């Protein structure tokens, strides 16, 4: 899946253009000096956000490895248990960074802003999903992916994925599970997620 994230035009248009996950030149991505996992396990950057923030695999292996996000603002957190889970998160809620601590009404405004910036978001998302071999109609709901994010942030895998900076100090948590508003499935926004 990773090669498609960086090479397929439809996938790049959505992930780099809408979800702010650019995997077009992974060999060029380097973490800041001293940023590492507290456990000593491998931390491998494979994509970046426009801000320079990093998407990284944890440990050894392939795309099934946990994925952490490392912000240049000194925050880090577990996003997914493998690249396929991260892809679903980004397809369903490309605004996941802005979901933290927001009420359902505030989240609707965030979604509205994404729609203004990318009026063809549905088409881009569906084309990217299909290019990755994912049926857009089978995507989970926004509530499901945000609940998964909340569960991960407080679980044992998140503790094992603690990221430290140059001085050996733990980076601040990217988010607290209690901050993630988990809208009910009845609040889904048509065209952006499946109401399952």
Is there a domain that residue 193 lies in? no
Is there a domain that residue 45 lies in? yes
Total number of domains in the chain: 1
List, for residues 117-138, the tens digit of each pLDDT value: 888 889 999 999 999 999 999 9
Is there a domain that residue 192 lies in? no
List, for residues 140-153, the tens digit of each pLDDT value: 988 888 888 888 88
Band of the pLDDT at 23, cuts 50, 70, 90? very high
pTM for this entry:
0.85
pLDDT surpasses 80 at 29: no
Q: What is the DSSP letter of 170?
A: B
Is there a domain that residue 194 lies in? no
Is there a domain that residue 59 lies in? yes
Is there a domain that residue 99 lies in? yes
Q: Domain range for residue 40? A: 2-187
Contacts of residue 158, defined as CB under 8 A and 6 or more positions apart, other chains included, come to: 77, 78, 152
Band of the pLDDT at 183, cuts 50, 70, 90? very low
pLDDT surpasses 50 at 84: yes
pLDDT at site 99? 73
pLDDT surpasses 60 at 186: no
Is there a domain that residue 123 lies in? yes
């Amino acid at each position: 899946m990773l090669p498609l994230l960086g090479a397929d035009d439809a996938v790049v248009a959505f992930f780099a253009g809408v979800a702010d996950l650019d995997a077009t030149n992974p060999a060029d991505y380097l973490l800041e000096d001293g940023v590492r996992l507290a456990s000593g396990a491998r931390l491998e950057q494979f994509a970046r956000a426009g801000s320079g923030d990093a998407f990284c695999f944890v440990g050894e292996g392939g795309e099934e490895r946990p994925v952490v996000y490392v912000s240049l603002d000194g925050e880090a957190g577990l996003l997914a248990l493998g690249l396929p889970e991260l892809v679903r998160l980004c397809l369903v809620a490309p605004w996941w960074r802005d979901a933290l601590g927001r009420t359902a009404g505030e989240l609707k405004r965030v979604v509205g802003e994404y729609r203004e910036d990318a009026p063809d978001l549905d088409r881009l998302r569906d084309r990217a999903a299909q290019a990755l071999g994912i049926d857009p109609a089978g995507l989970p709901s926004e509530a499901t992916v945000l609940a998964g994010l909340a569960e991960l942030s407080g679980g044992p895998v998140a503790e094992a994925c603690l990221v430290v900076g140059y001085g050996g100090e733990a980076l601040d948590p990217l988010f607290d599970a209690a901050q993630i508003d988990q809208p009910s499935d009845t609040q889904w926004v048509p065209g952006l997620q499946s109401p399952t």
